[in-house]
Amino acid sequence: MLKTQRAQYVLERLEELYPETPVPLDHDDPYTLLVAVLLSAQCTDVRVNQVTPALFKLANTPEKMRKKGVEEINAIVRPCGLAPKKAQAIQRLSEILVDEHEGKVPANLEALEALPGVGHKTASVVMSQAFGVPAFPVDTHIHRLAQRWKLTDGKSVKKTEEDLKKLFPRASWNKLHLQIIFYGREFCSARGCDGTVCQICRTLFPRRKSPIQTKKA
């Protein structure tokens, strides 16, 4: 099966499995999504969703958050890990949003990446899920599955993103990146599948016998 054929099969099969793709992180608007995605770095979505209600009760707008102390924010987000840096980033980016963006999250990738604690993946998630702009954020699940399905060589997360964008229609990116994450969590996890177990892996590579070693994100 050619790479383009594998990509087409993945696209069709994931659409069958996940016709609906609700955003895993609870949020009410672009700002609360931005904060939730920032907190999700090296943390599960479940844990983030347990923490954000208290955080957004404390402050759910940049105007309110900028007035809170870093230690006050840190006390709430501590369960997410890397809390001191995340708390500082949340407080500082809130200041910047008020001072430079009229209190609004910019619908611009470069402007988002310039915010404290906001890398390319976080910015891409906000662009796709808050503003509907086609983007293909690559997390550990996508990086792993793209290698198992031989859609990329996995040299880097950046390369994986570039390869997937070339293979899949632009209109599918926002939904597909979530579909791959859902599938990776449910059927093709790091420990639950080694490239020979799940249904998609077996369909794409029916003769594969040896486990596939993937490069980490």
Sign, CA torsion 158/171/141/48: positive
Say how far apart CA 95 and CA 63 lie, in whole Å. 8
Active site residue 139: yes
The answer to whether residues 68 and 76 touch, using CB atoms and an 8 Å cutoff, is no
The one-letter code for the residue type at 32 is T
Triad 39, 50, 112: Cα angle to 5°? 25
Per annotation, catalytic residue among 139, 150, 175, 194: 139
With a CB cutoff of 8 Å and minimum separation 6, the contacts of 48 are: 25, 36, 39, 40, 80
DSSP letter for 79, please: G
Of 11, 23, 4, the C-alpha closest to 176 is 11
Say how far apart CA 198 and CA 143 lie, in whole Å. 16
With a CB cutoff of 8 Å and minimum separation 6, the contacts of 148 are: 188, 193, 195, 201, 212, 214
Of 101, 187, 184, the C-alpha closest to 118 is 101
Q: Which residues are catalytic?
A: 121, 139
